[in-house]
């Protein structure tokens, strides 16, 4: 099969709307819906739901962008520091998305006097949904590719040699499989134990390490694909969290009573902006950088 998907959903005189960015918008809506449905269990008013979703979206966008610049594309941006501001050129990293979401959750818990672990057990459920739809965006934009293979469902990319594993689809399917497991787990182990968080981290990172054995990483660290190093660290951390959570007899404190408080007009405006903002992001790698990297690979492969 030929990978010839148009990365743009629609192109207008004012710019394009991209599939890759749209999945972030869709994911943020999923986060909002989850917290809205669970607000009484968590102990949040409508105002709190919007505040948490806004902070989470900001953390995801800043974390994803900063991690990509500092870890995956540092050489490119070191030579072009002003290009850091060019979000419309692309450049987001999934491990940075996770880190940014984690820090935003910790900040919100501290600000509101909520249990960080309890909030984390909740947020990983819509979080894995965001990651699942995000990989669908990766597949369409062609920024995440697999190793060369002859399986019948392989894809041929115009700027790469050989047919490739559609690892972005594998990763998306893996995340969608994890989603019902977490929904089941949160009914068995109430938020605050850390079991749901441990399950998410260990399953996400462990299965991703297996999937990424079929991935062709454009960056390497310590002899492994850069992402694989973080996958291993996350998987080990997830197993430790899960073991400790299952052994713990820590009591779960009931949600505090909350006073009804409606979301403000400013919150509606801010969240609408954050949902629309990613639509202009075309790709997970900076477009010019990934084009140059793949051109260099092709030139090297054809040299005698």
Q: How many Å apart are CA 30 and CA 127, to the nearest integer?
A: 9
Q: Is the pTM of this model over 0.85?
A: yes
Average confidence (pLDDT) over 133-143: 90
Q: How many Å apart are CA 267 and CA 271, to the nearest integer?
A: 6
Whether residue 301 lies inside any domain: the answer is no
Which percentage of the chain shows pLDDT scores above 70? Answer: 90
Q: How many Å apart are CA 237 and CA 205, to the nearest integer?
A: 10
Q: How many Å apart are CA 62 and CA 234, to the nearest integer?
A: 20
Q: How confident is the model at residue 303 (pLDDT cuts 50, 70, 90)?
A: very low
Q: Is the pLDDT of residue 7 over 70?
A: yes
Whether residue 140 lies inside any domain: the answer is yes
One DSSP character per residue, 200-247 reads: HHHHHHHHHHHHGGGB--S-EETTEEHHHHHHHHHHHHHHHHHHHHHH
Helices (H), 68-188: 74-79, 94-112, 116-141, 167-188
* pLDDT tens-digit series, residues 52-63: 999 999 999 999
Q: Is the pLDDT of residue 237 over 60?
A: yes
For 54, the 3-state DSSP assignment is: helix
Please compute Rg for the chain using Cα positions.
Answer: 20
Which percentage of the chain shows pLDDT scores above 90? Answer: 59
263: tokens are 């979301």
pLDDT at 142: 87
Whether residue 9 lies inside any domain: the answer is no
Higher pLDDT, 273 or 291: 273
Q: How many Å apart are CA 147 and CA 182, to the nearest integer?
A: 30
Whether residue 155 lies inside any domain: the answer is yes
pLDDT at 54: 97
Q: How confident is the model at residue 257 (pLDDT cuts 50, 70, 90)?
A: low
Q: How confident is the model at residue 251 (pLDDT cuts 50, 70, 90)?
A: low
pLDDT at 222: 60
Whether residue 147 lies inside any domain: the answer is yes
Backbone angles phi, psi at 91, to 5 degrees: 115, 90
pLDDT at 297: 59
pLDDT at 255: 56
Higher pLDDT, 144 or 205: 205
Whether residue 95 lies inside any domain: the answer is yes
Q: How confident is the model at residue 218 (pLDDT cuts 50, 70, 90)?
A: low
Using CA atoms, how far residue 285 sits from 95, 125, 261, in Å, is: 13, 26, 41
Whether residue 257 lies inside any domain: the answer is no
Q: Is the pLDDT of residue 291 over 80?
A: no
Q: How confident is the model at residue 219 (pLDDT cuts 50, 70, 90)?
A: low
pLDDT at 299: 60
Rounded to a whole number, what is the largest CA-CA distance in the chain? 73
Q: How many Å apart are CA 196 and CA 186, to the nearest integer?
A: 6
* pLDDT tens-digit series, residues 80-112: 999 888 888 888 998 899 999 999 999 999 998
Average confidence (pLDDT) over 75-83: 90
Whether residue 2 lies inside any domain: the answer is no
pLDDT at 302: 47
The boundaries of the domain holding residue 245 are 17-251+265-292
pLDDT at 63: 95
**Count of the separate structural domains present in the chain:** 1
* pLDDT tens-digit series, residues 147-200: 899 999 999 988 788 899 999 999 999 999 999 999 999 999 988 889 999 999
Q: Are 128 and 134 contacting, i.e. CB atoms less than 8 angstroms apart? A: no
């Amino acid at each position: 099969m030929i990978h010839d998907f148009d990365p743009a959903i629609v192109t207008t005189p004012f710019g394009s709307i991209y599939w890759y960015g749209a999945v972030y918008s869709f994911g943020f809506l999923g986060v909002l819906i989850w917290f809205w449905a669970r607000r009484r269990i968590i102990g949040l008013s409508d105002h709190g739901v919007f505040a948490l979703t806004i902070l989470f979206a900001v953390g995801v966008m800043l974390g994803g962008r900063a991690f990509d610049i500092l870890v995956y594309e540092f050489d490119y941006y070191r030579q072009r520091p002003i290009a850091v501001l060019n979000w419309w050129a692309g450049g987001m990293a999934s491990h940075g998305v996770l880190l940014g979401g984690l820090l935003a959750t910790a900040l919100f818990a501290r600000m509101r006097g909520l249990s960080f672990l309890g909030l984390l057990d909740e947020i990983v459920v819509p979080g894995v949904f965001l990651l699942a739809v995000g990989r669908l965006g990766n597949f369409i934009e062609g920024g995440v590719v697999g190793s060369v293979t002859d399986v019948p469902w392989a894809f041929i990319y115009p700027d790469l040699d050989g047919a490739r594993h559609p690892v972005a689809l594998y990763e998306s399917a893996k995340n969608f499989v994890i989603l019902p497991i977490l929904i089941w787990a949160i009914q068995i182990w109430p938020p605050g134990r850390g079991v749901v968080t441990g399950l998410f981290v260990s399953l996400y990172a462990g299965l991703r390490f297996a999937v990424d054995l079929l991935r062709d990483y454009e960056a390497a660290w310590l002899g492994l694909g850069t992402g694989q190093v973080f996958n291993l660290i996350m998987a080990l951390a997830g197993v430790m969290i899960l073991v400790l959570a299952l052994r713990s007899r820590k009591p779960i404190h009931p949600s505090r009573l909350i006073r009804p408080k409606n979301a403000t007009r400013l919150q509606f405006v801010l969240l609408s902006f954050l949902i629309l903002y990613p639509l202009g992001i075309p790709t997970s790698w900076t477009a010019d950088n990934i084009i140059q990297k793949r051109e260099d690979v092709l030139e090297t492969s054809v040299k005698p």
